[in-house]
Amino acid sequence: MPEKRQKLIPDEFIPEIRSRVITLDNQDYLLQNDTMYTFYERSMGELSPFFLAIKNEKKILGCKCSKCGIVRVPPMMTHCPDCEFAPTGLVEVSQVGKMNTTPPITYFATSLFLDKAPFGRGRVILEGADTALSVMLYTTTGILVPGLIKKGTEVKIIFRDERVGQISDIYCVPTSELTPEQVTKKGLQESELNWAKPKEPQFPKPTDNDTANFKQCLKEMQALAVKMSQSKRARKAIEGWRRNITVRTKAGEFAIYINNGDFRIEEKKLSSPDFIMACEDPKTLLDGLMYKGAITDSVIMKRLWISKNLEFNTIFKLDRLARFLVMEQKEKTAK
Ligand SMILES: [Zn+2]
């Protein structure tokens, strides 16, 4: 799940040099895209040691009251409000802890967090700490779904390889997904985790009915794919997007090719797909492509599994593809 280094304003948010005309009271006016820059530096103030320890030493610091001994993480107090402002001192806490709440999962993030979704957002009480630290949560087993991380789940802090001294430099994964050595290792980095072996769901042996259903669904999906590739509107939904996807179902597998507007489905095994989708019944995917219920919902409801968490983005595009085709067909009928 390594992250790309990004500019403060991502490229896609920077408008092109372009103009347009608006007409007001029968008069044409020319509007030009232009810029105004306002960047600033923000001080982390008294929390600087906490963020510097994350960035440079891969350590998590808290502050311990010299009188009552309470350890607060992050170290937001230099003096304890419970002990007539007795001074606190910085201490290092463990990088393993337990969730004190069941984290909600953000699937549809705001533009600020688009490249990080889906992620869980919860609070962990690290060993040695008395307060909970707010963290982002991920899994190495594929898509993050409800129930995977709950209140009481033991998790471990993972440090991003490239750190700038922000809270998003760290996140947690369940310790059950790590080796005992990884659980004990301090300053475990994301590149040390195995992201390439997600836990794919296993399906029972297909019956003759399942096989017939698979063939029928595949045929319908292929016909739909042809329509999507011919639809100007639908092509827009996957413009600039390229993915080769393996889809495994109970009764067989096939390949989806997304190629800058082209959408194709073939009964073929891919040797190195960008990611894998697994759904017991191919009708789950067919329904989604027919715009009968969202595919994103099928993922969240665990009817459809994907091997890479960040490919939820592609699932989101498939929903748009289905919606755009239906919209175009409706417009045509209206005319
Ligand atoms: Zn105190």
For residue 293, tell me if it sits in a domain: yes
Residue 129 CA to ligand 1 centre (angstroms): 13
What CA–CA distance (Å, rounded) separates 131 from 230? 57
Q: Is residue 324 a contact partner of residue 332, using CB atoms and an 8 Å limit? A: no
Residue 35 CA to ligand 1 centre (angstroms): 51
Q: What is the pTM of this model?
A: 0.83
Q: pLDDT in tens for each of the 335 residues of the chain?
A: 555 667 888 888 888 899 999 999 999 999 999 988 888 998 999 899 999 999 999 999 999 999 999 999 999 999 999 999 999 999 999 999 999 999 999 999 887 787 788 999 999 999 999 999 999 999 999 999 999 999 999 999 999 999 999 999 999 999 999 999 999 999 999 999 988 888 899 999 999 999 999 999 999 999 999 999 999 999 999 999 999 999 999 999 999 999 999 999 999 999 999 999 999 999 999 999 999 999 999 999 999 999 999 999 999 999 999 999 999 988 888 87
Looking at 192, 221, 254, which one is the last position of a domain? 192
Residue 69 CA to ligand 1 centre (angstroms): 6
CA distances from 114 to 166, 236, 274, 310, 316 (A): 17, 19, 19, 9, 12
For residue 308, tell me if it sits in a domain: yes
Same domain, 272 and 168: no
Q: What is the largest CA-CA distance in the chain?
A: 78
Residue 52 CA to ligand 1 centre (angstroms): 25
Same domain, 177 and 225: no
Residue 88 CA to ligand 1 centre (angstroms): 8
Residue 49 CA to ligand 1 centre (angstroms): 20
For residue 86, tell me if it sits in a domain: yes
Residue 85 CA to ligand 1 centre (angstroms): 7
Residue 186 CA to ligand 1 centre (angstroms): 28
Same domain, 60 and 159: yes
- Split into its structural domains, the chain has a count of 2
Sheet (strand 305-306) strand order:
262-266, 252-259, 242-249, 275-278, 305-306
Same domain, 63 and 181: yes
Residue 87 CA to ligand 1 centre (angstroms): 8
Residue 207 CA to ligand 1 centre (angstroms): 66
Residue 68 CA to ligand 1 centre (angstroms): 4
Residue 71 CA to ligand 1 centre (angstroms): 9
Residue 222 CA to ligand 1 centre (angstroms): 67
Same domain, 177 and 230: no
Q: What region, left, alpha or beta, does residue 89 occupy, with left being phi > 0 and alpha being psi -120 to 50 degrees? A: beta
Same domain, 188 and 212: no
For residue 279, tell me if it sits in a domain: yes
Same domain, 74 and 121: yes
Same domain, 163 and 213: no
> What residue numbers bound the domain in which 179 lies?
47-192
Same domain, 325 and 270: yes
Residue 70 CA to ligand 1 centre (angstroms): 6
For residue 264, tell me if it sits in a domain: yes
Same domain, 217 and 157: no
Determine the residue type at 109: A
Looking at 143, 166, 192, which one is the last position of a domain? 192
For residue 180, tell me if it sits in a domain: yes
Residue 79 CA to ligand 1 centre (angstroms): 8
Residue 175 CA to ligand 1 centre (angstroms): 31
Same domain, 144 and 181: yes
For residue 38, tell me if it sits in a domain: no
Same domain, 159 and 244: no
Q: Is 182 exposed, middle or buried (0-12, 13-18, 19+ CB in 10 A)?
A: middle
Looking at 192, 217, 249, which one is the last position of a domain? 192
Residue 136 CA to ligand 1 centre (angstroms): 28
Query: Residue 272 corresponds to which tokens in the numbers above?
Result: 């190195």
For residue 18, tell me if it sits in a domain: no
